Amino acid sequence: MATKKRGGLSQFTVPKSDAKPDPAPAAEPTEAETQKPRKKTETAKKPDIVRTTVGMNRDALKALKYLATDEDVSVNALLVEGVNLVFRSRGKPEIG
């Protein structure tokens, strides 16, 4: 029983002699594409906040997170409260 020989990949390619169809005309650019990017404008002055890192052991962090959850406040709010206690004890003005 003779089997039919399979064709190679060449059967799926377009011969170079065939002319390619004209590409479709480019669509008109949308309004979003023609607009220049907006510059950032300051509408409201942001508070001058600087981030810092606090090192503590895992158990202390876990306890701080539980306390924040129990009191429905952020960990940051508790840390600010702690810094304010230190400042107050030393006669310094409190932070936000």
* pLDDT per residue as tens digits for the range 66-92: 999 999 999 999 999 999 999 999 999
The model's pTM: 0.51
To the nearest 10 degrees (0 to 180), the angle between helices 75-89 and 58-70 is: 100
Cα 12 to Cα 95: distance, rounded to the nearest angstrom: 72
pLDDT score recorded for residue 23: 66
* DSSP, res 35: S
**Residues of the chain predicted below pLDDT 70:** 1-2, 15, 17-25, 32, 38, 40-42
Amino acid type, 91: G
Instruction: Judge whether 94 and 84 are in contact, CB under 8 Å.
Output: yes
pLDDT score recorded for residue 88: 96
pLDDT score recorded for residue 32: 67
Tokens coding 72 = 């429905």
pLDDT score recorded for residue 27: 73
